[in-house]
Amino acid sequence: MRLNIMNWPSKKDREAFEIEGFIDSYEKLKHGRNFIVVEEREKPDRIVQDEKTGEKFGIELTSEYLNDRSVPDRHMKNDSANMPENHKNIDVYEKRILDRVIEKVAKAREGYDLSYPLILSIYVNEYESIYMDEGYWQTFAKRHDSFFDSIDPFVEVVFWPLPNDLIVSVRNKKRKTHNMLLHK
């Protein structure tokens, strides 16, 4: 019997996929921009430039999973059939997402290049996200409003890809913007 094993992409391939997905998603936001990558690097992962205005931004790419076994046990097996809605899993996943934001904020404060405004791109890559609809994200943004005011040096966190082409952008109000939930 031959097993069908899925090859998981390398870090370079994942980052190429994530920056492309982020750029496509960001452009759809009401305040969206048409970015092009001008530099691949670390801390942050990419420098992008708005094709229209010439403004540059640092983009930090990350993704989050339900647990450390999601990739080998669920994603590599491509076992998405009959995934029941599990609110406990959704709560756990939300906490992991918030913990990832905290981790990235701490790392950015300790040694990222702050020459340009920073945006944190979070690839929401877990099956539970199919149950995280627009109402869920509106409640999420309200419940964590003050949390997102402490994301300096990031000016914005973008969650993508979500069901029904939903893209969530939460912006730091301290930067004279508003926390937002945007959908297209």
> pTM of the full predicted structure?
0.84
pLDDT score at 37 = 98
Weakest mean pLDDT among 48-57, 106-115, 154-163:
154-163
Tell me the average pLDDT across 143-153. 91
Residue 130 has pLDDT above 50, yes or no: yes
pLDDT for the residue 10: 84
Q: Is 164 exposed, middle or buried (0-12, 13-18, 19+ CB in 10 A)?
A: exposed
Asked, for residue 108, whether it belongs to a domain, the answer is: yes
- The answer to whether residue 20 is domain-embedded is no
Domain annotation covers residue 117: yes
49 located within any domain: yes
Does residue 24 lie within any of the structural domains? no
Residue of 149, 146, 175 lying closest to 57 (CA atoms):
175
The CA radius of gyration of the chain, in Å to the nearest whole number, is 17
Please tell me the predicted confidence (pLDDT) of residue 70.
47
Chain-centre distance for alpha carbon 70: 17
DSSP string, the chain: ----PPPPPPHHHHHHHHHHHHHHHHHHSTT---EEEEEE-SSSSEEEEETTT--EEEEEEEEE-SSTTHIIIIITTT--TT----HHHHHHHHHHHHHHHHHHHHHHHHH---SS-EEEEEEE-SGGGGG--HHHHHHHHHHTTTGGGG-TTEEEEEEEEEGGGEEEEEE-GGGT------B-
Asked if residue 44 is part of any domain, the answer here is yes
Query: Regarding predicted confidence, which is higher, 174 or 137?
Result: 137
On whether residue 135 sits in a domain, the answer given is: yes
**CA dihedral defined by 66, 23, 104, 138, rounded to 10 degrees?**
-60
- Domain enclosing residue 95, as ranges: 31-175
Does some domain include residue 66? yes
Residue-level pLDDT at 115: 97
Per residue in 35-91, pLDDT (tens digit) is: 999 999 999 999 999 999 999 999 999 988 765 544 444 444 455 555 556 667 889
Q: Name the band, by pLDDT with cuts 50, 70 and 90, for residue 126.
A: confident
Higher pLDDT, 84 or 148: 148
Show Cβ contacts of residue 157 under 8 Å, excluding neighbours closer than 6 positions. Answer: 101, 119, 120, 122, 148, 151, 169, 170
How many folded domains does the chain comprise?
Answer: 1
